[in-house]
Amino acid sequence: MIPAVRATYNQQFTDTQYQQLLQGIAQDAGIAPAFRVAETPVFVPAELTDKLVQACEEIINVVLRPDFKTITRDAIPPHLKVPHENEHPHFIVIDFAVCRRDDGTLIPQLIELQGFPTMYAFQEVMARQFKTHFNIPGQLSNFFNGLDENSYYQLLREMIIGTCPPEEVILLEVKPEEQKTKIDFYSTEKYLGISAVCLTDLIQEGKKLFYMRDGVKTPVQRIYNRIIFDDLLQQSPDLPPHVNLFQELDVEWITHPNWFYRISKYTMPFIHSEYVPKSWFLHELPVVPADLENYVLKPLFSFAGQGVVIDVTQEDIDKITDPENWILQHKVKYAPAIETPSGPAICEIRMMYVWPDSSPRPILVHNLSRISKGKMIGVGFNSKDTWVGGSCCFFEHR
């Protein structure tokens, strides 16, 4: 999106470099990614960088409202509440579509936000490998707030492990070896020193949890949580016997599961920004817009069979029996802003925050990007195209 940088990158690109990038990623992580890695990073111009940061900070200001827990009290389905919720999430990720105004300028538009971690360890591996195998201009950075590779991983270690022995902190997932994101689990173990453990391998004694590490029963003090709990409920009947995580347990969560629901689509109607599409809880909608074709209907909770309705009609709205569990949101139109040798592409940019207990507000640290040439942006929808898939951004900073 920085025209001169983009033109130079495209001209100098070779498939040999790309294959070396993929090999470098696999060698660093110890495993090849289970998703397509794009041939290019995203080069974000300073003007768009400023808008992305402003949009994020406006969203963070809502999360910092003294009454935030009160206004999001109905965000957590009662059967999914986990005891001992802490005062703030340790991770916030904010996803934006890159769009164009009528005057041609690029702007971000909020797509989704989560009080949940993403691929924090792996994204730095990817950025570093792009810098190793391609000519990325030195004035562009994948980091924010003065971080570099060493201070970034140190910050993650301090927040996730803290003063605990690393072996008593685990990354918790359901069937981690089967997850598309498992390359991040490998990178987390390499750079932070904590292992990925399957829920079914936890051992409970009273309120305490343990797992077997090199044949030794090892206590679990902290859980770096990667389980999405409504997914867990759907999978539970097919899993072997396992610990019930909804009970009182003597363990610290990084980040606590309840924040996944508090900071989510549920938060969007409370955010008022030019970078956030207008959103309403369906039961609070003052009047049904006449131009419903410019809106999407989204379920707040991803229960089976309830998906996003893209081409909304009055009939769709009339059919909904639980309007308090849906939002109506203004449609976002992605801009084909990335020029590639095989045609223009659209992208989403994920801004990655951490929130250490010692910090008064969350800290913007890193990023993730997804590049697509189809209607769907997820990396699983791009198997036949080139210059698409998972990627990272390099930002121009003023």
> pLDDT digit string (tens) for 45-81?
999 999 999 999 999 999 999 999 999 999 998 989 9
SS3 212: strand
Q: What share of the chain in percent tops pLDDT 70?
A: 96
pLDDT band at 189 (very low <50, low <70, confident <90, very high): very high
Distance CA 274, CA 311 (A): 23
Q: Average pLDDT, whole number, for the chain?
A: 94
**So what's the pLDDT on residue 230?**
83
102-106, 217-221, 324-328, 382-386: least confidently modelled range: 382-386
Q: Treating both helix axes as pointing N-terminal to C-terminal, what angle do 15-29 and 182-192 enclose, rounded to 10 degrees?
A: 60
Distance CA 377, CA 278 (A): 21
Q: Which two tokens stand for residue 314?
A: 């009055």
Residue 380 has pLDDT above 60, yes or no: no
pLDDT tens per residue, range 205-230: 999 999 999 999 999 999 999 999 88
Residue 381 has pLDDT above 70, yes or no: no
Query: Tokens 């970078």, residue?
Result: 275
Contact 230, 301 (CB under 8 A): yes
Mean pLDDT computed over 89-115:
97
Residue 43 bridge partners (DSSP): 394
Q: Which two tokens stand for residue 53?
A: 């940061």
Residue 316 has pLDDT above 70, yes or no: yes
pLDDT band at 383 (very low <50, low <70, confident <90, very high): low
Helices (H), 219-353: 229-235, 259-262, 314-319
Peptide bond preceding 132: is omega within 30 degrees of 0, i.e. cis? no
State the CB neighbour count (10 A cutoff) for residue 343.
12
Distance CA 334, CA 328 (A): 18
| Residue type at position 78 | P
pLDDT band at 307 (very low <50, low <70, confident <90, very high): confident
Phi, psi of 293 (to 5 degrees): -65, -15
pLDDT tens per residue, range 290-306: 999 999 999 988 644 36
Which among 277, 274, 269 has a CA at the least distance from the CA of 296? 277
**So what's the pLDDT on residue 302?**
64
SS3 26: helix
Distance CA 368, CA 197 (A): 24
Q: Which two tokens stand for residue 384?
A: 């036949």
Q: Which two tokens stand for residue 352?
A: 């990655």
Pairing of β 346-354 and β 363-372: antiparallel
Largest Cα–Cα distance in the chain? 64
| Residue type at position 328 | L
Distance CA 182, CA 195 (A): 12
Q: Which two tokens stand for residue 259?
A: 């924040």
Tally of residues, the chain? 398
Contact 354, 90 (CB under 8 A): yes
Which among 245, 300, 270, 263 has a CA at the least distance from the CA of 88? 263
Distance CA 311, CA 301 (A): 19
Phi, psi of 352 (to 5 degrees): -110, 120
**So what's the pLDDT on residue 305?**
39
Helical (H) or strand (E) element with 348: strand 346-354
Distance CA 229, CA 137 (A): 41
SS3 204: strand
Mean pLDDT computed over 343-367:
97
Contacts of 164 (CB under 8 A, 6+ apart): 221, 222
pLDDT tens per residue, range 122-173: 999 999 999 999 999 999 999 999 999 999 999 999 999 999 999 999 999 9
Query: Which H, E and C letters describe 70-130, residue by residue?
Result: HHCCCCCCHHHCCCCCCCCCCEEEEEEEEEECCCCCEEEEEEEEECCCCCHHHHHHHHHHH
**So what's the pLDDT on residue 384?**
76
Residue 32 has pLDDT above 90, yes or no: yes
Rg (CA), the chain: 21
pLDDT tens per residue, range 251-298: 999 999 999 999 999 999 999 999 999 999 999 999 999 999 999 999
Mean pLDDT computed over 335-352:
97
The reported pTM is 0.95
Which of the pair, 233 or 381, is modelled with greater confidence?
233
Query: Is the backbone of residue 223 left (phi > 0), alpha (psi -120 to 50) or beta?
Result: beta
pLDDT tens per residue, range 159-181: 999 999 999 999 999 999 999 99
* Burial annotation 10-35 (CB, 10 A radius, 16+ → b, else e): eeebeeebbeebbebbbebbeeebeb
pLDDT band at 374 (very low <50, low <70, confident <90, very high): confident
**So what's the pLDDT on residue 101?**
95
